[in-house]
Structure 1
Amino acid sequence: MNDKHEQFKQVLDDHHQWPCPYAFKFIVPTENLPLFQKTFPEAELHTRESKTGKYTSVTMESNMCSSKEVMAVYEKAAEIPGIMSL
């Protein structure tokens, strides 16, 4: 694990008591929204399309058991082309 991952893990552990609900926020190219939904089929998603329709903001709340579990979701999401994690 590189230093940035280790720092992020530490921040998560310092600010959360596991297990707890965790809100993930992403900006997804609208054309890749079906891929996002396929990647996280069990997740409850709240979406809002941009004014131009080119991007969709996605909020996904999930109960997480550890910082490693949170980081695994971000790593899985990073495989979607054009995604931005907030």
Structure 2
Amino acid sequence: MTKREQFKQALDGHHEWPCPYIHKFIVPADNFEQFKTLFSKEKLETKQSKTGKYISITMVSTMCSADHVMDVYEKAAEVPGLISL
């Protein structure tokens, strides 16, 4: 079983779709605009690090399936330096 299949199985085991899902990311401040562009329709809660080099992002979205959750992570991975939590 691949990691993707394991993650999907874990998501399906813990959630009943559709449901709100919390995504958390850390992105270099220089790349935050790229993140905002990718997720322009989402409500983002942000907090800048003490040094201003990074921004933590919390995004709560209604997800319809585990595949939808994984699609968000794959889309976010396009941003250089992004860390998914």
Give the TM-score category using the shorter length: over 0.9
2:26 is aligned with 1:27? yes
CA shift at 1:35, angstroms? 0.4
TM-score by length of 1: 0.97
RMSD: 0.8
Q: Distance in 1 between matches of 2:35 and 2:43?
A: 12
Q: Flag structure 1 segments of 5+ consecutive residues without an equivalent.
A: none
Q: Name the CA distance, whole Å, in 2 between partners of 1:48 and 1:6.
A: 32
Amino acid in structure 2 at the alignment position of 1:42:
K
What percent identity do the matched residue pairs reach? 60
What residue in structure 1 maps to residue 17 of structure 2?
Answer: 18
What residue in structure 2 maps to residue 84 of structure 1? 83
Give TM-score, length-normalised by structure 2: 0.98
In the alignment, residue 72 of structure 1 is paired with which amino acid? D
Mark the runs of 5 or more structure 2 residues left unpaired by the alignment.
Answer: none
Residue 47 of structure 2 is matched in structure 1 by 48
Runs of 4+ in 1 over 3 A off after TM superposition: none
